[in-house]
Structure 1
């Protein structure tokens, strides 16, 4: 895991995204503490929520912001679990630009599917996804971040440890 967080000082907005269990919360919490930023943990929003406006309002907050998950997860988890996303790629592009305008960066947090599954099991997740489902989620994040890299910088952080079995 990335222990040196000096890079974070260069940004006013940092968006940590990746599969559940990849290590986002750990990194986001440490980064927010290190940079004296407001930590925002995005949770599942109720049906009918105007997501583009809700995320835009979050990005309008003053000061340094660190997001532990944000709007990108809707584009990954929505199609997998609900059959559709409640955000379009056009909405995503607009929100990515808002992050960029805030001197922001996206951080893609990854780990091998087996490691993620082990972490989720260790924290007592009741609906433990299969390794194949986790691999699909990771693949969808990979695809999404490739698209975002055409617009801005994406940092990639792997939270797997070489001495751990996967």
Structure 2
């Protein structure tokens, strides 16, 4: 498991990456270590105002650890719905809100084959093939390139099977 001692310097930590990369394991460990509020962002129904939803979450007081956040909409929305419900301006505003909260973004990644193995081990109904996982990881790379122009980003690769599940 990746050490989380580095997290004590932040009040908001956003873990993002492909399903199966290890976000939940890292977020839960971090939230417990910091005694922070853990926010697990689930799939939201159509018509949800994501900008307002995440703005309200970022208005909360105290330390926050996000297990997935608004960046996933910029990856999965176009891939699976053909569009995103957030604009680049929304993303930039929300990124700045995280920064203002003394926050950091953590790009959690792993090799596509390892991600697929983890998804299969947990019994996912939709098991993407290696190529689909690679596309998702590439999209996250693109999104994080944009985020790096506005905020601090740490990349954690959980390439060992026992590091995260």
Please tell me the TM-score bracket, short chain as reference.
over 0.9
Quick one: distance in 2 between partners of 1:150 and 1:160? Answer: 26
TM-score by length of structure 1 reads: 0.96
CA positional deviation for 1:115: 0.4
Give, in angstroms, the shift of residue 126 of structure 1.
1.1
In structure 2, how many angstroms separate the alpha carbons of the residues matched to 1:17 and 1:117? 17
Which 4+ stretches in 1 moved above 3 angstroms? none
Hey, what's the Cα distance between the residues in 2 that align with 1:11 and 1:17?
16
What do the CA deviations read for 1:47-104 (whole angstroms, capped 9, x no partner)? 1111100000001011000000000000000000000001111100000000000000
- In structure 1, the partner of 2:30 is 31
TM-score, L = length of structure 2: 0.96
Give structure 1 stretches of 5+ with no counterpart.
Answer: none
CA contact (8 A) 2:114 2:161 kept: no
Q: Which structure 2 residue ranges, 5 or more long, are not aligned? A: none
1:157 paired residue number: 156
The size of the alignment, in residue pairs, is: 163
SS at match of 1:155: strand
Indicate how the Cα distance of structure 1 residues 53 and 163 shifts in structure 2: closer, same or farther if over 3 A, else same. Answer: closer
RMSD after superposition: 1.4
2:71 maps to: 72
- Quote the Cα distance in structure 2 between the aligned partners of 1:124 and 1:110: 20
